[in-house]
Structure 1
């Protein structure tokens, strides 16, 4: 059944009543439920500001499907909790510090207290509403470190609220990644408030025990309070089936009863102490705070910090909803936990909930720098500080713990991208480079992950021994080929930073190592009339006979991770001129990309939508734009617009698969802008803009204004001509300094037929040299 809808216009007007006429509420165009169905795994709950630590929302269970962000389109509410992630996969994380409203007395809080939906959930930026079958209406709002619950109960002798410290989001995949509860504390006080802590473990990054502290206060003193502990058989069965220790079935919490039909609850959280949780609660949500005020504050945060930075000329509701829903979706995580780091004392910023740089380095971090330069510098500094204290850069991180590394050490790419685009400020780049060298030269300890036991999946480059010995990776290591392609890009990242810092010998070494993807290129591998693909290679130097249309299970234990050999063969984006030469020249290169978009190439494999190109997996992200390297910018536009207009919309199934923490959103946002970044380089490949006018506020008085005339986003999208900063442009690429460093203008003329306007130099291929 349908379970989502937006707030009514009447309520929206009520919530925005205090805005001045001069204010523009861009938040009205955000569909909080974009990507919550169809595997998008988006979090539709309350995030009061970009990167806020508190993410307050519903936890829904179907009994069979993982609710990665807590939300599912159908199922029963098991609670409303303070912490979530968004657009993640693998296994759920968080769903902790939970409350559940119950009508009447609760003699046994260990039984199933879940409730179905009575009507569709509602949400806007800063607000969430759920109507339960038991007659309770739940409304939610939040701040950075605290949450606000407003319950409206039906008439009854008692209105009860169960606080379940042991509540977590479960996993039903059977991979041993399900979260566990390892104990905690829960205390009530004479004034009716409660404090405590919970210790949790596991989830998608296989984290060991971590602790969150909480402090809860109600709008009125409870009639009664009681605490509970215990276990139950259902949870014990779940634990044994999902590889979670039986300590994860231990239940703990409290039950609070009230005589009123309207009950409010305020909860603060902290990684440091319950006292700090109480302080954050009192500072951010004083006792007299109303739901309406919190919602208005959240809208103001998002309008000021995100939405107002990108404006367009279009008045189309669908255009506005696409733009602002995707801008919202890319800013939910990582979480800014500055001042909330329990691991070490530091004056540096601290960000957590990074999922994952394997997903984000291709186009998300580049857009973060454009839209959030201050926060982005903080994130770069945080990465380096994590290395200082934990010893490794994270490829992913959650609950203050690194993991998982799916391919390369891709934080290297992120640091290099920031460096070559001029991020300096308070960043210590000598330390940043040392962190990258750790990845490039030091083998990380094996964390003995059962799904890939050959080497570390926690951090670093687990297959480094082969990389250093052979210049390629043998099948001794899982994901050998995809790792090799990514290690090459990682080493190119080191080259870029070493070169910039004047470390000549290092720069030469890492530039040479960045070409090692070539050692996996088998010119005899054949598929669909094309020769040459990256394939596994044995220690004796021989190639494994590999079907380029097969990646086995395409998962942790296979030679290729989440993509086909065809896709990975197009991924050495720092060495494209070599790739073109290997494939057989411009025409063959063009034909190969064209084949990737032809239907029926992967017969019977619905995961790839019957094409080799897969819009839902990151190794295909750059492929539609590679035509720019061979003088066919028109085909880049044709294919990228097809992808954007076919696989994306602002509806519940509007993403082509898992959001991957905003990776999908940033891909389509770049398509709207009409550019695409090459990470670790200053190059942006030119596509075609979606709107007649877009202005991007770059901060400190700078802006990029993009205009188009003569066409539209759905058919007449071919570039006829282009001016950059008022000068006629004949290249299919621009650089950071051309349009972003000091701002600028891009004036497109569009039409319905292709024109060969990009007659200038091809985009740079910095690792290629003479090919």
Structure 2
């Protein structure tokens, strides 16, 4: 870069002139200061990691979203985090004193689990579950590190993670009675969020100088079945003495202890004599396979007590993961919410390949789906763009699970399938979405076996595995499920599962299956009651008896989870869930004008909870009635009002809500299981989406602002788009998407 023939640009970013050409010294001094400030500004430019606020989603109020405040790596197995009394499903309440630190947590869920292996640094010894709570100060939280001062003990605790292991730095005061308690019994369902209910059936801990090993078998929390947890921990300093304890009784000098009966309280205590501000490090690895595997993880991931190296590596990994989407424009607040959301989309599920007793070496094993009922709609479509290897790993894990167990359920937690599903057989939608978007590294014939099994052997209705509910097995014969638990929502979801399966069948040349499942996917209309009325509008999804008689219901009643007719939603909401048949839905509602009137009324009167998964696509329905401007309006309203520095609407649902926000901020939204995206307009003036296939999509919206929320025109790679619906083929090879945003829609009346 040159100013003229004599000027050059040196490596500091400051223009340098030859001596003869330099101006008077005072002017040169001010010019130097000015240009130096520019260079400093460039050097200190914020990175994506700097915008992440780990306290978003864990604070008080209705939008406290059960997000884990502690750090972990993308889709990592370990996530060390503080725990408190009255903790949410993540184990933590920011108002409460710190009880200690567990290594396993799940983020953004509505029902918790895990909480092992529990550590409590202390001065003195308190082994009772609530006996060592400490007020806190100086609390910091980043994706790569958590830190807090335990005021009761004057001990500072910091932790930074690798994928299966973490390293703690405990800074003790001068004391002859410093200690570290290890509790192998403690877990969230049993001790923190006790209404969940849980217990430990067996366990053992052993201390050998500065090496601690142990395991337990636990039951409780979301999912089904018991599961083991193994750990290995190593201290940087040899304890002055050791003790073990069971049910509050301490045995000095003992090196091993185990449960004698279910839910015994068992642990060990490491005692130290410390100097003022002495740092003691503990590195710990957790495995679901064996103690030997935990040792292997620890030696591979954290071979030395180099805390800063592990922290630097974790920060670098996250910055790289977050740079997959770069945004410009917008406010600092919007960027913080955006990058925190992007962080939360890469927490769950956990990649536990080579960490399961049930699957062989290098067999893909992705754990902790809470459940795909949440994540298929937005989280997985986002990963198809930025982390396709994660998607192929998930689908290959589905294949491995099907080969092993003969079934792939909606929820899979701590290596166990959960029999009762929240909705349809929605692993099918993830598989179909991956297939249609050309995700590599998958044997599609093997993947189709999962789809074929679900289509022909599943689709049974809620709790169909129980004999008393076997009458619900009517979907495949009648095209609908008679009135009962979740019968309406499951019928609609099964119809979409069939449609997704049909698309894959067509692609694989399985013509008979294609027509069979396509025909079945249209039978959702069997539950459409054209005469049902609510607030002056006609036509709703209504349960009906086996005889075919529609029931008289309240279309606004929210039943909750695993209740009659609908799951976590109302008829007003599920009457818009036909992701594959919007044109039919428009017709059934009396045409575009009536469709728009009814849908907009539902939003205005808060009858459609479009911040909950069943209605994610409802707001996109306006596109099918040529009113994409209304989709833009309601999407932006939700982003502005319900995605804040406190959290997202309700639970983050394993990143599902955060993924909704990411797509909405980028300006296009997926119809998962199909190659469809809806254009609603971006929040930022420029977004660079660096896709996993090596391509970059640059989304420009020079006029985007808080007021300019309407799409008045779009061009993709220089070609003007017609309408507000595009396909995956339009963006898969990168290029440019340019939005013309305005304060008023073009079709405004």
Question: Do the two structures share a fold, i.e. TM-score over 0.5?
Answer: yes
Any gaps of 5 or more consecutive residues in structure 2? 1-41, 250-258
* Cα distance in 2 between the residues matched to 1:444 and 1:185: 43
| Contact 1:50 1:302 (C-alpha < 8 Å) held by counterparts | yes
Q: Which has the larger Rg?
A: 2
CA drift of 1:68 comes to: 0.8
After superposition, residues 26-105 of structure 1 pair within 5 angstroms as 26-37=48-59, 38-47=63-72, 49-62=73-86, 67-90=88-111, 92-105=112-125
Any gaps of 5 or more consecutive residues in structure 1? 1-19, 233-244, 447-451, 600-610, 758-771
Matching of residue 354 in structure 1 with residue 358 in structure 2: no
Match of 1:645 in 2: 640
Match of 2:700 in 1: 707
CA drift of 1:479 comes to: 0.7
CA drift of 1:282 comes to: 2.2
- TM-score, normalising length: structure 2: 0.88
* Cα distance in 2 between the residues matched to 1:133 and 1:299: 27
Matching of residue 749 in structure 1 with residue 744 in structure 2: no
Alignment equivalent of 1:685, drawn from 663, 672, 678: 678
Rate the CA distance shift 1:120–1:617 in 2: closer, same or farther, 3 A.
Answer: farther
Rate the CA distance shift 1:175–1:527 in 2: closer, same or farther, 3 A.
Answer: farther
| Contact 1:338 1:349 (C-alpha < 8 Å) held by counterparts | yes
Alignment equivalent of 1:184, drawn from 180, 198, 203: 203
Rate the CA distance shift 1:100–1:173 in 2: closer, same or farther, 3 A.
Answer: closer
CA drift of 1:247 comes to: 5.5
* Cα distance in 1 between the residues matched to 2:540 and 2:534: 9
- Aligned residue for 1:213, secondary structure, equals strand
Rate the CA distance shift 1:369–1:219 in 2: closer, same or farther, 3 A.
Answer: same
| Contact 2:464 2:473 (C-alpha < 8 Å) held by counterparts | no
CA drift of 1:279 comes to: 2.3
* Cα distance in 2 between the residues matched to 1:41 and 1:405: 21
| Contact 2:64 2:647 (C-alpha < 8 Å) held by counterparts | no
- TM-score, normalising length: structure 1: 0.86
Matching of residue 302 in structure 1 with residue 322 in structure 2: no
Match of 1:259 in 2: 273
Alignment equivalent of 2:246, drawn from 219, 229, 237: 229
Which stretch shifts more, 247-256 or 533-542?
Answer: 247-256
* Cα distance in 2 between the residues matched to 1:622 and 1:720: 22
Rate the CA distance shift 1:390–1:231 in 2: closer, same or farther, 3 A.
Answer: farther
* Cα distance in 2 between the residues matched to 1:315 and 1:431: 45
After superposition, residues 41-440 of structure 1 pair within 5 angstroms as 41-47=66-72, 49-62=73-86, 67-90=88-111, 92-106=112-126, 109-110=127-128, 112-119=130-137, 121-134=139-152, 135-170=154-189, 177-189=196-208, 191-205=209-223, 207-230=224-247, 248-260=262-274, 261-290=278-307, 292-304=308-320, 306-314=321-329, 316-403=331-418, 405-423=421-439, 425-440=440-455
Q: C-alpha offsets along residues 107-128 of structure 1, whole Å, 9 cap, x if unaligned? A: xx24633313232521112110
Which stretch shifts more, 311-320 or 31-40?
Answer: 311-320
After superposition, residues 486-505 of structure 1 pair within 5 angstroms as 486-505=493-512
| Contact 1:443 1:465 (C-alpha < 8 Å) held by counterparts | no
Match of 1:676 in 2: 669
Q: C-alpha offsets along residues 317-356 of structure 1, whole Å, 9 cap, x if unaligned? A: 2132122111101101110111112112154321101111
Q: C-alpha offsets along residues 154-195 of structure 1, whole Å, 9 cap, x if unaligned? A: 333211111000010036999974221111111111x32111
Rate the CA distance shift 1:173–1:595 in 2: closer, same or farther, 3 A.
Answer: farther
Rate the CA distance shift 1:371–1:739 in 2: closer, same or farther, 3 A.
Answer: same
Alignment equivalent of 2:577, drawn from 571, 574, 585: 571
Match of 2:717 in 1: 725
* Cα distance in 1 between the residues matched to 2:679 and 2:260: 55
CA drift of 1:744 comes to: 2.1
Question: How much is the aligned-residue C-alpha RMSD, in angstroms?
Answer: 2.4
- Aligned residue for 2:573, secondary structure, equals helix
Rate the CA distance shift 1:317–1:481 in 2: closer, same or farther, 3 A.
Answer: same
Rate the CA distance shift 1:719–1:616 in 2: closer, same or farther, 3 A.
Answer: closer
* Cα distance in 2 between the residues matched to 1:408 and 1:136: 49
- Aligned residue for 1:709, secondary structure, equals coil
CA drift of 1:231 comes to: 7.3
* Cα distance in 1 between the residues matched to 2:43 and 2:693: 25
| Contact 1:200 1:210 (C-alpha < 8 Å) held by counterparts | yes
CA drift of 1:281 comes to: 1.3
Matching of residue 697 in structure 1 with residue 694 in structure 2: no
Match of 2:4 in 1: none
* Cα distance in 2 between the residues matched to 1:632 and 1:385: 44
| Contact 1:151 1:262 (C-alpha < 8 Å) held by counterparts | yes
Q: C-alpha offsets along residues 694-740 of structure 1, whole Å, 9 cap, x if unaligned? A: 1111134311111012341x211111211111011122111001112
Match of 1:472 in 2: 480
| Contact 1:215 1:278 (C-alpha < 8 Å) held by counterparts | yes
CA drift of 1:465 comes to: 1.3
